[in-house]
Structure formats: structure tokens, C-alpha cells
Amino acid sequence: MNVAAFVPSKTAIPYYAPGGNEVALFERAWAGQLPLLLKGPTGCGKTRFVAHMAARLGLPLHTVSCHDDLTAADLTGRYLLKGGDTVWTDGPLTRAVREGGICYLDEVVEARKDVAVVLHPLTDDRRILPLERTGEELAAPQSFMLVVSYNPGYQSLIKTMKPSTRQRFVAIEFDFLPPEQEMAVVAAESGLSETRVRPLVQLAGRLRALKGQDLEEGVSTRLIVYCASLIEAGLPTREAVLATMIEPLTDDADVKAALVEIARAVI
Ligand code: ADP
């Protein structure tokens, strides 16, 4: 991917094109020591936004991709056997609370229920992390901020955030950028010209309109970036579209055939 123009070195701020006032809101939430919840479809820029904000504020970023086996102990830490001794080892959340900075729990609703218990005392004015196993009670430093994300559209009803947890966060809703802005992002990320990116973004718009009917999820910005990157690398457009904007969306042969038809009309 050709992001060199925007990210000249590893220490530079990752490129992020805002869709609204989320940058100012994030800065206010951080200054006010408030936890933040980012809602929105997969691949719409939530993770990039957090990376951008961490770099902008000069804060370390501790990211955890949550999954359905992730327990509170995976976040806080556990005793591990090391050379015959049992040694306490901090989990990523505990490290973030000790060191300060942003702790980002991506797709938090995927995690086991006991995770909410750990997050509650950290997300009210106590801002503490009790570690039952070690008997410690860590107070979060001023620079600590908890950021969580989830995708309200895609999870089943069982996997949603309980109001008692959700109502502890300042929340920002994310969506895909308007077409002109999304085109600029895809062009910047892939190196493909905006003229060649345009039909891909148009196609994504058509496919997103099918969400809830034939498709569980619409095409993410991430997938359009993949598609544009493959085209930029020399793959024929139709092959790239099939591999990135159609195959990942469905396993149903009839739906796939319908998507191919739509793609033919646009590309
Ligand atoms: P999410 O965390 O919402 O699943 P990501 O932040 O990982 O999505 O975004 C996927 C990719 O899409 C990023 O790696 C980046 O290439 C691109 N992207 C999406 N939105 C933006 C944006 N607003 N600014 C810059 N890049 C973006």
C-alpha cells in the first residue's frame, strides 16, 4: 500500500480522514478522563482513528482484539510458571493502567461477560482496576483512557452491550465516509488514481444498499482499499473486484451471481 505520502516515517501520525467532529470529541473525552465507545460497521476506520488519536496526543496505544474466548484474566493478567516459580504477569489492560495511555478493546462485545466486571470500576469516577489475585488496586493515571468499539449491526441480539455497561461511555457513531471522501481515502491508501477508484466506490455504494436483504454486511472501506491495491499492483479490475468486493461478502451462489451482475453494470 502506498501510504508513504501521508506517513513519511513510523513515528508520524497515521493518516485519518475525519467524517465529523470525532477528533475534537476524542480530545475532550481524553482531557476529561472519560471512556469512549466507538460504534460502527467493520472496516470503516475506527481502529485507524484510535491509532491516529494516540499518535496525535503522543500516548502509547495498547490494542486488544477481543474474541469469544477472551476472559477478564486475559486482560488483567495471571500467575504463570517461570523456571519453577509462579510469577504474576500483567495482561494488556493492567499494563495500560500501570503505564498510562490508551487501551483500545476492539469488538468488545465478543469478549466473555466477566470482562464487563473489570471495566466497570475503570469507567466511573473511581478509575481503578482491582486485581483480586494480587490484592492490588491500581488507580489509573491521568493519561489513561479506555476506548472500546463494537459493530451494532452485525452481532446477533445475544451479542450486544448491556445498557449498564454502555451507559458508562461517551459514544461516537461511525459510518462509511461520503463517496467523495471515501474515494480520497482509498486513493491515498492504495496509490490508485481517484479516477480509477471512483467506480469501485460507486459499486460499494450499490452493494451496501443490499445490506439487510441479501447481505449481512456491506462492503467495508478496508475491502475497497484491498481491491484498489490489487488493481494498482496489476491485477485485472474484474478479478480484483471478485476477490475483494464479492467473495468475502457471501457464500451463497445465487447471491454471488447477483452481485457479479451488479458489478458488471458498474465496472
Ligand atoms: P475498523 O476498525 O472500523 O474495522 P479500520 O480502522 O481497520 O476499520 O479501517 C480499515 C482500513 O480502511 C484502514 O486500514 C484504512 O486503510 C481505511 N480507512 C477507513 N476509514 C478511513 C479514514 N477515515 N481515514 C483513513 N483510512 C481509513
Q: What ipTM describes this predicted complex?
A: 0.99
Residue 94 is predicted with a pLDDT of 97
The partner residues of 140 in beta bridges, in order of sequence, read none
Query: In angstroms, what is the span from residue 167 Cα to ligand 1's centroid?
Result: 26
- How far apart (Å, rounded) are the C-alpha atoms in residues 97 and 247? 41
Instruction: Report the pocket of ligand 1 as residue ranges, CB < 6 Å.
Output: 15-17, 42-48, 177, 185, 189, 221-222, 225
Q: Is-contact 163 28, C-beta < 8 A?
A: no
Per-residue model confidence as pLDDT tens for the chain (267 residues): 333 344 344 568 999 999 999 999 999 999 999 999 999 999 999 999 999 999 999 999 999 999 999 999 999 999 999 989 999 999 999 999 999 999 999 999 889 989 999 999 999 999 999 999 999 999 999 999 999 999 887 655 557 788 888 899 999 999 999 999 999 999 999 999 999 999 999 999 999 999 888 888 889 999 999 999 999 999 999 999 999 999 999 999 999 999 999 999 998
**Cell numbers found for residue 210:** 443490499
Nearest atom within ligand 1 for CA of residue 51: 6
Q: Is-contact 190 229, C-beta < 8 A?
A: yes
Nearest atom within ligand 1 for CA of residue 44: 3
- What pTM value is reported for the model? 0.92
Atom 18 of ligand 1: nearest residue by CA position: 45
Q: Is-contact 30 146, C-beta < 8 A?
A: no
- How far apart (Å, rounded) are the C-alpha atoms in residues 132 and 86? 16
**Phi, psi values for residue 197, rounded to 5°:** -80, -30
* Contacts of residue 68, Cβ cutoff 8 Å, sequence gap at least 6: 110, 111, 112
Atom 5 of ligand 1: nearest residue by CA position: 45
Residue to substitute in 6, 48, 174 for testing ligand 1 pocket (most ligand atoms within 8 angstroms of CB): 48
Looking at beta carbons, which pairs linking 208-214 to residues 24 or more positions away fall under 8 Å? 208/176, 210/259, 211/153, 214/250, 214/252, 214/255, 214/258
Query: In angstroms, what is the span from residue 19 Cα to ligand 1's centroid?
Result: 12
Over residues 49-86, the pLDDT tens digits come to: 999 999 999 999 999 999 999 999 999 999 999 989 99
Query: In angstroms, what is the span from residue 106 Cα to ligand 1's centroid?
Result: 13
Query: In angstroms, what is the span from residue 136 Cα to ligand 1's centroid?
Result: 37
Query: In angstroms, what is the span from residue 16 Cα to ligand 1's centroid?
Result: 8
Atom 9 of ligand 1: nearest residue by CA position: 45
Atom 6 of ligand 1: nearest residue by CA position: 45
Nearest atom within ligand 1 for CA of residue 1: 16
